[in-house]
């Protein structure tokens, strides 16, 4: 079994309630459960974490160094601001799949750039909650092609 860390950044804990016209009505808990079930079928143990605090996300990534095989991350608003989060991801030397519920390229100008995208093996956006399951499947493909 491969160990995968699924990280969610600021405000994603309010999924299902927060701007459902943009982010849908599925809760973060429902997304995490679906990813864990799919991951188990694909040979992965998916540990989930959510924080509104950049430093806590970075601490989790640092603690995972040498212990995980990949990261799936929705950095939320930190996508557009956090070089430190990008650096923490890059240090791991494992596949990173960036996921966004909405298509950030069709949103406000300040949301159209992500510091994470250039180090990500794949970026999945605009598919709502289903994008997370797509990210789990993408991670499985990356791990199979690069054991």
Count of positions (residues) in the chain: 147
Active site residue 23: yes
Identify the active-site residue in 50, 100, 115, 132.
100
Choose, from 23, 50, 69, 132, the residue flagged as catalytic: 23
Q: Which helix (H) or strand (E) holds 49?
A: strand 44-50
pLDDT in tens, 61-75: 999 999 999 999 999
What confidence tier does 19 reach under pLDDT thresholds 50, 70, 90?
confident
pTM for the model stands at: 0.94
Q: Is the pLDDT score of 106 beyond 80?
A: yes
Question: Could you say which architecture CATH assigns to the domain 2-145?
Answer: 3-Layer(aba) Sandwich (3.40)
100 is catalytic: yes
Report yes or no: 133 and 101 within 8 Å, Cβ to Cβ: no
- Contact in structure between 7 and 57 (CB atoms under 8 Å): yes
Rounded to whole angstroms, how far apart are CA atoms 130 and 67? 27
Domain boundaries, the chain: 2-145
């Amino acid at each position: 079994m491969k160990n995968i860390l699924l990280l969610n950044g600021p405000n994603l804990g309010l999924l299902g309630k927060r701007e459902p016209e943009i982010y849908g009505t599925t809760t973060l808990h429902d997304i995490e459960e679906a990813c864990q079930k799919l991951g188990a079928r694909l040979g992965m143990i998916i540990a989930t974490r959510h924080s509104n605090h950049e430093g806590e996300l970075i601490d989790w990534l640092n603690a995972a160094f040498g212990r995980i095989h990949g990261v799936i991350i929705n950095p939320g608003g930190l996508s557009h601001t956090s070089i430190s989060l990008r650096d923490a991801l890059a240090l791991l030397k494992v596949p990173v799949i960036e996921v966004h519920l909405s298509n950030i390229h069709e949103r406000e100008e300040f949301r159209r750039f992500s510091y994470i995208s250039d180090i990500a093996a794949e970026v999945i956006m605009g598919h709502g909650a289903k994008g997370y399951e797509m990210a789990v499947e993408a991670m499985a493909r990356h791990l199979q092609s690069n054991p």
